[in-house]
Amino acid sequence: MNIYHDRIEINPEVMLGKPVIKGTRIPVELIVRKLGEGASVEDLLDGYPNLKKEDIQAALTYAANSLANELTIYMETGT
């Protein structure tokens, strides 16, 4: 079972349907972006008191699975 199913939700009424940590308005994108910019897990936990370490792990797993299942279509343009 994927860890993120219990922690990530997509609801059109919350953050325009972007995936967020369940019960919050914290987008998965924000977590991944902050970590990519050099923030530590501890920085995120301090900055977002409702966030748990398992939420961060779920966000990363969700992002990795999204990329793994991404479909790229190459099209020739004729030039």
Q: What is the mean pLDDT of the chain?
A: 93
For residue 70, pLDDT over 90 is answered with: no
> Strand 8-9 relative to strand 20-21: parallel, antiparallel, unpaired?
antiparallel
Q: How confident is the model at residue 2 (pLDDT cuts 50, 70, 90)?
A: low
pLDDT at 52: 96
Q: Which domains does the chain have, with CATH numbers?
A: 3-66 (1.10.10.10)
For residue 79, pLDDT over 90 is answered with: no
Residues sharing a CB contact under 8 Å with residue 71, sequence separation 6 or more, in sequence order = none
**How many other C-beta atoms lie within 10 A of the C-beta of residue 12?**
8
